[in-house]
């Protein structure tokens, strides 16, 4: 089978996931109000409200108030959570018993620091480890190990990246492809720095659409023997 057929199949398979009406990701926010009180907010369409249940915090916490705000069919759930004991720590974990593919969590602590994380659903809910969303002291070995495992766990969720890598390797079966793959890696590294600094980026959906455009350009360039000299720069911007 000609190689452009493989690229076309990869492109079409990715379109199914990216252009779906609902990506299956629910956005939520955890805001620390005081040392022992928090606000947990969830944004969800009214038609998907059935998939959201109250978050499960450690036993020492309790939900004291739950409000539902409806804005033209878009629902915001707000829960106030308190404790008379220790606040959230790196040893704690929140479980979201949601029927969703994943959760995009933003945590804002009382000192002003903000962290974001994307977590997939497991058989018993979406697990959110607090240690990944707060400032803690770690050794260099621990940082490398945790980020490597985080990338491995999220790899199946980001299949569009795999399709792009396949397209690049197929279109450039030489040492040249390393330059493009390095540009992708460098762009991802820079984007992670921006996240740590609290600098907002583009939505995940738009990032996937850019990757789709890159797959299309690589496929078109390969089929018609056209040199795409700006591909390394474009690869850098994909993440």
Q: Which residues contact 93 (CB under 8 A, 6 or more apart)?
A: 58, 127, 128, 129, 130
Going by their DSSP bridges, the two strands 37-45 and 25-32 should be labelled as antiparallel
- Tens digits of per-residue pLDDT, 185-222? 777 677 666 666 666 655 555 666 777 777 777 777 76
pTM of the model: 0.52
Cβ contact 81:41 at 8 Å: no
Residue 228 confidence (pLDDT): 60
Q: Which residue has the higher pLDDT, 153 or 115?
A: 115
- Tens digits of per-residue pLDDT, 137-160? 667 787 778 777 776 766 655 666
Q: Which residues contact 232 (CB under 8 A, 6 or more apart)?
A: 179, 180, 183
Domain residue spans of the chain: 25-136, 142-146+150-237
CA distance 216 to 59: 50
């Amino acid at each position: 089978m000609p190689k452009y057929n493989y690229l076309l199949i990869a492109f079409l398979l990715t379109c199914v996931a990216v252009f779906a009406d609902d990506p299956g990701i629910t956005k939520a926010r955890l805001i620390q109000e005081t040392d022992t009180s928090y606000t947990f907010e969830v944004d969800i369409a009214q038609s998907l409200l059935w998939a959201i249940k109250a978050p499960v915090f450690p036993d020492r916490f309790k939900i004291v108030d739950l409000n539902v705000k409806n804005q033209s069919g878009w629902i915001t759930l707000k829960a106030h959570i308190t404790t008379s004991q220790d606040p959230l720590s790196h040893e704690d974990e929140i479980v979201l018993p949601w029927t969703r593919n994943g959760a995009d969590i933003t945590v804002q602590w009382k000192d002003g620091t903000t962290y974001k994380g994307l977590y997939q659903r497991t058989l018993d809910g979406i697990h959110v480890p607090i240690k990944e969303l707060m400032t803690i002291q770690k050794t260099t070995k621990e940082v490398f190990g945790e980020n490597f495992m985080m990338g491995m766990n999220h790899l199946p969720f980001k299949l569009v990246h795999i399709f792009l890598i396949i397209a690049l390797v197929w279109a450039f079966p030489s040492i040249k492809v390393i330059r493009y793959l390095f540009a992708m890696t460098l762009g991802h590294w820079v984007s992670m720095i921006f996240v740590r600094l609290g600098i907002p980026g583009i939505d995940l959906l738009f990032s996937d659409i850019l990757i789709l455009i890159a797959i299309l350009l690589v496929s078109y360039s390969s089929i018609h023997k056209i040199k795409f000299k700006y591909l390394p720069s474009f690869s850098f911007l994909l993440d």
